[in-house]
Every structure is written in C-alpha cells, then in structure tokens.
C-alpha cells in the first residue's frame, strides 16, 4: 500500500490551554514539543491544523441557556438535527464554558505551535445550531462545508492530495481529537491517534475512549511505535 500521510493537529488553542484558557485541559502545553517534531517532519504530505471557531450564540455555551439547566460541564440539552433537515433526530449536548469565540485571542492557535509548516487551517463549529467536535462533520454527521459549519471539506482536501494515512494529535483527546480521528477513518483513511501527543479533559475515561477508537478502526499508537517512527525518522 502506498504511504502518503497527513498530520492533523487538533485545536491547540489558547482557550484549551493553561494557565488562562476558559476550557483549559490539564497539561495541554506539555505535548507541544512532540507535536512540533511531527509538524517538522518532511514525511507528511499535508499538515493540517484545526480551530474551534464558534459564534457567540453557539448552542454548546452554557450561558446561552436558562437556569437551572445551564451548568458548564454538568448540564445537557436536547439538540435537533436542524442542519441536516432531520429534526426528528436528536442528541444530548453537553454544555461548556464560552470558548474559542471567533476573532478572539482564546480562539488563536497557541504561539508555541510552529505554524510555518501548516498547509491548511480548518475552522470548525461555526454553525451556532450544532456541535462540531470532528473536523470532518458535525455531531450528526452532516458535512457543513459552505453552509457555515466548517470552512473546508477536509475529507475532499485529503483525497485531492491522494492522502492514504492520517495521524491525529492535539486537544482534547476525548472529544475533538477522538471525533476527528473517527471521522478520518470513516472517510476511508488509515488513521492513527498518537496517544502521547494528546491530552484529555477527563483522563480517567481514556480507556473507554480507546475502546471507542478501536471500534471505529482507529489505531492508538505512541511516538515510539513503528508507525510514528516512520514519520518522525523518515
């Protein structure tokens, strides 16, 4: 099988990083050196960074919902699949602190990440009506490129470059990295999530996340694995 790999650096943004992020992931900046090693690798045909890029009225923000069911992290609301024109489909949406609002410092990629070698930046979660953890589709599986959800059809961009393998890293491992990796696998790419190049919001749940990834045909590897060495060492 041919090997034309892409790197997807997920949501390494100020709001997801200590010390000042509104939705900071513990140890979020600890993975920067490894991510930058991957970004520097000439083996990757394409290097993508993603950004949550939410409007102020995004459905996931707790402040956009009335009390008492508006507690960040703890509260859930029912969301309909309005974007896909299937309102009979619903899902539970966890509410979050306001984060990664468009054109704010919190939405910027942290300065420690070397963006000079990034080829594409995918801005996602721009449709206020639906969550979008994955850089491929929203939480209902809708491809919303061109309709406000995401600025680029990532699957199509990867296929245009004849990418065969995708390596996912970044924040948070149990949400946007996980869902982006699963989206990559569903799109037909051999997909790896590099375990020591991610941090979780809830590290205690990582074993369940790994089981979900395995079920979705995503291989969880680390930087010492043969697959990672193939891109790190050329």
Which of 11, 15, 52, 127 is an active site residue?
11
pLDDT in tens, 187-221: 999 999 999 999 999 999 999 999 999 999 999 99
CA–CA separation, 199 vs 118, rounded Å?
21
Contact 225, 188 (CB under 8 A): no
How high is the pLDDT of residue 145? 67
17 belongs to the catalytic site: no
* Of residues 9, 5, 2, 3, the one with CA closest to residue 44: 5
Which of 123, 124, 178, 199 is an active site residue?
124
CATH of the domain spanning 5-56+99-232: 3.40.50.850
Q: What's the whole-number mean pLDDT along residues 98-120?
A: 97
pLDDT above 90: percentage of residues in the chain: 94
pLDDT bucket at 102, cuts 50 / 70 / 90: very high
- Beta-carbon contacts of 145 under 8 Å, excluding residues fewer than 6 positions away, are 151, 152, 153, 156
Would you give the DSSP letter of residue 64?
G
Q: Which residues of 165-174 are buried (b: 16+ CB within 10 A; e: fewer)?
A: bbbbbbbbbb
114 belongs to the catalytic site: no
CA–CA separation, 4 vs 223, rounded Å?
18
Domain residue spans of the chain: 5-56+99-232
Which of 17, 100, 166, 176 is an active site residue?
176
Output the pTM of the full model. 0.96
Contact 27, 34 (CB under 8 A): no
pLDDT in tens, 73-86: 999 999 999 988 89
């Amino acid at each position: 099988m041919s090997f034309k790999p892409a790197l997807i650096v997920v949501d390494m943004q100020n709001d997801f990083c200590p010390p000042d992020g509104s939705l900071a992931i513990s140890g979020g900046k600890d993975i920067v050196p490894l991510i930058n090693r991957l970004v520097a690798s000439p083996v990757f045909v394409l290097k993508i960074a993603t950004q949550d890029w939410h409007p102020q009225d995004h459905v996931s923000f707790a402040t956009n919902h009335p009390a008492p069911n508006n507690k960040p992290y703890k509260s859930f609301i029912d969301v309909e699949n309005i974007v896909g024109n299937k309102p009979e489909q619903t899902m539970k949406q966890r509410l979050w602190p306001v984060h990664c609002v468009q054109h704010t410092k919190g939405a910027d990629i942290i300065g420690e990440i070397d963006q000079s070698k990034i080829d594409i930046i995918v801005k996602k979660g721009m449709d206020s009506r639906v969550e979008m953890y994955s850089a491929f589709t929203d939480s209902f599986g809708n491809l919303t490129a061109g309709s406000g959800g995401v600025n680029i059809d990532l699957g199509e961009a990867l296929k245009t470059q004849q990418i065969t393998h995708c390596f996912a890293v970044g924040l948070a491992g149990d949400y946007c990295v996980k869902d982006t990796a699963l989206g990559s696998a569903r799109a037909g790419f051999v997909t790896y999530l590099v375990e020591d190049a991610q941090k979780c919001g809830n590290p205690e749940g990582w074993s369940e996340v790994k089981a979900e990834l395995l079920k979705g045909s995503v291989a969880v590897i680390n930087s010492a694995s043969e697959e990672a060495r193939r891109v790190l060492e050329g």
